[in-house]
Amino acid sequence: MSKEKRNLIIAGVLIGAVSVALVALGNPKNMGFCIACFIRDIAGATKLHSAAVVQYVRPEIIGLVLGAWIISMATGEFKSRGGSSPMLRFIIGAFVMIGALVFLGCPFRMILRLAGGDLNALVALFGFIAGIACGCFFLSRGFSLGRYYKQNSLEGHALPAVNILLLVLLIAVPSVFAFSEKGPGSMHAAILISLAAGLIVGILAQKTRLCMVGGIRDIILVKDYTLIFGFIFIFVAALIGNLITGNFKLGFEGQPVAQTAHLWNFLGMFIVGLGSSMLGGCPLRQLILAGEGNSDSAVAVLGMFTGAAVAHNFKLVGNATENGPNTYGKVAVIAIIIILLAIAAVRTFKEEK
Amino acid sequence: MENRTEKITVATFFNHYGAMKMKKALGPDAVLRPVPRLLSSSCGTCVFVNGKDDALKEILDNADENLEAVYTKDSEKYTNIWKVN
């Protein structure tokens, strides 16, 4: 077995275990980690949206960025770089977030939901794979958002600095934020535990290049099965953890923070698969790349942050009580798929080669 | 018995399509692979070229703006032999 594969297995097991532990310590069920949900919670806490049940400054997100930032500086891998279609990345980042919030989870939470027995996440997994396959269709025909360039080092440190500021404010003057008093936003582990979990997963993900999209993309594009091992072992570890802690419940109905609207779960994650393939990585990977100096990924993260606010302000998100997104959400999903396909087609077939 | 290790040359690219085009140009000696972790913390596609002494020349002859760098691989050690400005 290659060293890369072995490291991915170890990282996957540790990340799965950390995710289950976070739920035991206060996070919502099947939500030890959810990049989309947590960025959305931060957007709520900073009052970009006013959905009262999803507002909290999630230290896990801060930890992920800072973990990647610290380890990449320590190992000399921090490189300020960017300039690859920032505006398109912003928009695609926002679309990925809206797709994830229609499903009610990012690819990371999709795995954790599967490991909790939530079969709605299986439907979403098919959508996710279909979206990545669609992205690979364009990638193998010339799709690219353009090359990156070396940038001034301040550019790469900017997003980690913003995260440090968020952390300082959270600890020193939490009253500047809005916090949920009920609902998922009110459920969380202690700040330092969440921060430590984020730092650990951030370091592991930077060292192993763990990516929920990359594993499936590599299988389709180059028939390489290395990266998928991280994905598989997060699932295995979280499944075992959920069985031990009694949080495993197999079925479609009554799953935590979930809906059984199959078509919209499928299409929501189709958007995430397609958009993430175009961005070059899943939402977790965007945070990690942003931490190691990639300002293109930092822009995608800001797009996700904005997309979360848009999704809640315009009520596009999935809805557990009404079992699916409302008409606005459904129209948005269809429109986003059309726009993503149009962007992909233009950047594939209309570029000078 | 002589203990020989075959020469391997690795080319990295700014995008997947660049790697695909290079693989097509170089023929059966070239293989598409994910970029090794030792080379980069990014996760793109690269081209491994096995057993060709003039691999660098052939890569550069077929290169376009998508080529990022070229390395030689000696067991698990990679040496950079070309890099875009």
**CB count in 10 Å sphere of residue A142:** 18
Residue with tokens 């795995």: A111
- Alpha-carbon span A195 to A191, nearest angstrom: 6
Which residues in chain A are closer than 8 Å to B45, comparing Cβ atoms? 221-222
- pLDDT truncated to tens, each residue of chain A (353 aa)? 789 999 999 999 999 999 999 999 999 999 999 999 999 999 999 999 999 999 999 999 999 999 999 999 999 999 999 999 999 999 999 999 999 999 999 999 999 999 999 999 999 999 999 999 999 999 999 999 999 999 999 999 999 999 999 999 999 999 999 999 999 999 999 999 999 999 999 999 999 999 999 999 999 999 999 999 999 999 999 999 999 999 999 999 999 999 999 999 999 999 999 999 999 999 999 999 999 999 999 999 999 999 999 999 999 999 888 889 999 999 999 999 999 999 999 999 875 54
What is the band of B2 on the pLDDT scale with cuts at 50, 70, 90? very low
pLDDT at residue B1 in the model = 41
The rounded Cα A228 to chain-centroid distance in angstroms is: 16
CB atoms within 10 A of CB A168: 10
Full-prediction pTM beyond 0.90? yes
Q: What angle do CA A347, A349, A352 make, to 5 degrees?
A: 80
Q: Do B43 and A227 touch (CB under 8 A)?
A: yes
User: Are residues A224 and B37, on separate chains, in Cβ contact within 8 Å?
Assistant: no
pLDDT of residue A351: 58
Sign of CA dihedral B14, B19, B20, B22: positive
pLDDT tens for A257-269 read: 999 999 999 999 9
Task: Decide if A222 and B65 are in contact by the 8 Å CB cutoff.
Answer: no
Q: Of B46, B83, B57, B20, whose CA–CA distance to A353 is shortest?
A: B20
The answer to whether the beta carbons of residues A58 and A177 sit under 8 Å apart is no
Give the type of residue at A217: R
* Main-chain dihedrals φ then ψ at residue A190, nearest 5 degrees: -60, 150
Mark yes or no for CB contact B43/A280 under 8 Å.
yes
Sequence-distant (6+) residues with CB within 8 A of B13 are B19, B22, B44, B45, B46, B47, B66, B67, B68
d(CA A313, CA A331) in angstroms, rounded, equals 15
A252 DSSP 8-state letter: S
Domain ranges of chain B: 8-72
- Contact list in A for residue B17 (CB cut-off 8 A) is 139-144
Interchain contact B81–A (C-beta under 8 A) = no
Half-sphere CA count of A78, side-chain side, radius 13 A: 22
Contacts of A72 in chain B (CB under 8 A): 41
pLDDT of res. A352: 52
Chain B residues close to A218, C-beta within 8 Å: 34
From residue A136, how far is each of A142, A352, B19 by CA, in Å?
10, 20, 14
Matching residue, tokens 């419940």: A249
Chain A closest-CA separation from residue B75 CA (Å): 13
- Chain A residues touching B39 at Cβ < 8 A: none
Which pair of tokens denotes residue B61? 């002859």
**What backbone phi and psi angles, to 5 degrees, belong to A252?**
-95, -40
| Count of pairs with CB atoms under 8 A, one residue in A, one in B | 53
CB contact under 8 A, A209 and B37: yes
What DSSP line would sit under A86-106, residue for residue? HHHHHHHHHHHHHHHHHHTS-
Half-sphere CA count of A114, side-chain side, radius 13 A: 20
pLDDT 10s digits, B73-84: 988 899 999 999
With cut-offs at 50, 70 and 90, classify the pLDDT of residue B53.
confident
CB proximity A227 to B under 8 Å: yes
What per-residue confidence (pLDDT) applies to B3? 45
Whether residue A225 contacts residue A214, with contact meaning beta carbons closer than 8 Å, is answered with no
pLDDT digits (tens, 9 = 90+) for A99-123: 999 999 999 999 999 999 999 999 9
A224 to B14: CB separation less than 8 angstroms, yes or no? no
User: Which residues are B82's β-sheet partners?
Assistant: B70
Provide the 3-class DSSP secondary structure of residue A150.
strand
> In three state form, how does the secondary structure of B2-71 look?
CCCCCCEEEEEECCHHHHHHHHHHHHHHEEEEECCCCCCCCCCEEEEEECCCCHHHHHHHCCCCCEEEEE
Residue A301 identity:
V
Within chain A, strands assigned E span 81-82, 149-150
Q: ipTM of this model? A: 0.89
